[in-house]
Structure 1
């Protein structure tokens, strides 16, 4: 019981520290677009503006104002809220996220590990944005024969990406970019931004098929991190084809030639490959099955019901994890 109370008190202290940071002047430089933004005492200070953005859930701004500011005798007007949001530099959320990570991991509230490894999973997705000519120009969207230019887009789309600690349920970094920005540069932005936090820790980077690259593998090696990345079908296809299908756990070497090395943009990684052009990889193959849950609509009464589909998967992975500590099945 004492342990439960101690942990509850630790969580409360950590959240109070985060709340104090959100209300402190240290946040102002990160929140300003204009030099004098949020400098005067108003009914809607920076912290309230941020809380409004965080806790919106209604269908209209007026509905959210009534809910979020219900305890105020004279809630702010719709125009006041829109004005405050228009002068908020949204890079402020990067500072808040950095502070949150520092507090939760520093206090020992996010200490779950897998065999001593801090797991960092990276993935992205395309998301639809509200209809807006300005957002069309900034973010773009899928173009095709029916929609050839940004101006013709009905609704814009963005590419979002997150670095996530799945064992501690913590978002470590988040990026929102235009539709046509690819996964790999966003991943590198995550890793570069998180490097001060990750350095000195035992880290395992987890990623899906579109993130595998020799640059990522060498970056991990240079910083002492391990990786586990699902293999795209055509990635090192010839070298993988030389390994018989019956062999499900094997090692092979990728040797970069001079044109390949020359195309690498990161100067540190390019210099590393000039000194040592070989990348030793472990290829792990495995097959597994699962039941995929979905919903269908019944014709007679239009009601939804659950359906299950049996799925068989053949997956291949590139990893730097040693076979002696991590088996193929694991």
Structure 2
């Protein structure tokens, strides 16, 4: 359940920093609608039509103002950097004490369940968006206007902890590593289980989560870790995944590579067979 008062507090707090979130000289004290107004409007608009949404907002919250045109609304929102809404979301989680253990949030046996995944999305097909997301045509083929959205979210409580919009060609694993780095101060890693699908079987990912003192579940393909699976005596018996030189070569983070080059003979993780 969203706490509206805390949402508004988060908006008012974050929008104080105009330089960080505004392109050009806009939303100053002389403006009829402040950055907080625009953030509130864009966060809660009903997505009917842009004109009806702005009419409803002005009528309800700023009745002393004339209703701006749809063209004005469209132009003004282009001056707002998307990171504003990411930071409002993070501030909101901070204000509701998301990191703390309390009875407000749902858990699974005392653990928060956080899942990570990425999907491709169609975006408006304009020259500006094609340039922004590095969409290049070939002589014979016009590529569709697409981007990739990657996120990590608390699946029991419905919170997106972080989202990244990237080029549609962006690999999912580097984005997940970035998420884990960015949200580590927002969570209690000892009470968090990370869940990933078949696109994320990577030793470096396991290593990062282990170094966070956190836990993970990854659904594996049938042809993953075949040699280790041969040592299983029953369907749900644990196996050890050892760091090898070949596996270490695939590490990209120099700090993690250094740590695990010294742990070549150590067990990295336990796996359980899952024949789904």
Which of 80, 85, 88 is equivalent to 1:88?
A: 80
Q: Which of these two proteins has the greater Rg computed from alpha carbons?
A: 1
Q: 1:120, 1:203 within 8 Å by CA — same for their partners in 2?
A: yes
Q: 2:6, 2:92 within 8 Å by CA — same for their partners in 1?
A: no
Matched, 1:70 2:59: yes
Tell me which residue corresponds to 1:222: 211
Which of 53, 63, 85 is equivalent to 2:42?
A: 53
Q: 1:30, 1:95 within 8 Å by CA — same for their partners in 2?
A: no
Shift of 1:60: 4.5
Tell me which residue corresponds to 2:138: 148
CA distance in 2, matches of 1:16, 1:64: 21
Q: 2:8, 2:40 within 8 Å by CA — same for their partners in 1?
A: no
Tell me which residue corresponds to 1:31: 21
| Structure 2 residue matching 1:206: 3-state secondary structure | strand
Tell me which residue corresponds to 2:176: 187
Tell me which residue corresponds to 1:310: none
Matched, 1:283 2:252: no
Q: 2:150, 2:165 within 8 Å by CA — same for their partners in 1?
A: yes
Shift of 1:110: 4.1
Q: Deviations over 1:130-180 (max 9, x none)?
A: 222222232256x9xxx7369823x41111122111222222111111101
- What RMSD in Å do the two structures reach over aligned CA positions? 2.8
In the TM superposition, 1:107-122 aligns within 5 A as 108=102, 110-122=104-116
CA distance in 2, matches of 1:49, 1:66: 13
Tell me which residue corresponds to 1:164: 153
Query: Could you list the runs of 5+ residues in structure 1 that have no partner in the other structure?
Result: 1-10, 287-313, 316-330
Which of 113, 121, 133 is equivalent to 1:139?
A: 133
Q: 2:133, 2:167 within 8 Å by CA — same for their partners in 1?
A: yes
| Structure 2 residue matching 1:131: 3-state secondary structure | coil
In the TM superposition, 1:117-132 aligns within 5 A as 117-132=111-126
Q: Residues 59 and 199 (structure 1 numbering): CA distance in 2 closer, same or farther, change over 3 Å? A: closer
Report the TM-score, using the length of structure 2 for normalisation.
Answer: 0.84
Matched, 1:272 2:259: yes
Report the TM-score, using the length of structure 1 for normalisation.
Answer: 0.71
Q: Residues 102 and 58 (structure 1 numbering): CA distance in 2 closer, same or farther, change over 3 Å? A: closer
Greater share of residues in strand: 1
CA distance in 2, matches of 1:123, 1:150: 32
Q: Residues 178 and 38 (structure 1 numbering): CA distance in 2 closer, same or farther, change over 3 Å? A: same
Q: Deviations over 1:254-284 (max 9, x none)?
A: 3333354244211221011110024443332
Q: Residues 161 and 150 (structure 1 numbering): CA distance in 2 closer, same or farther, change over 3 Å? A: farther
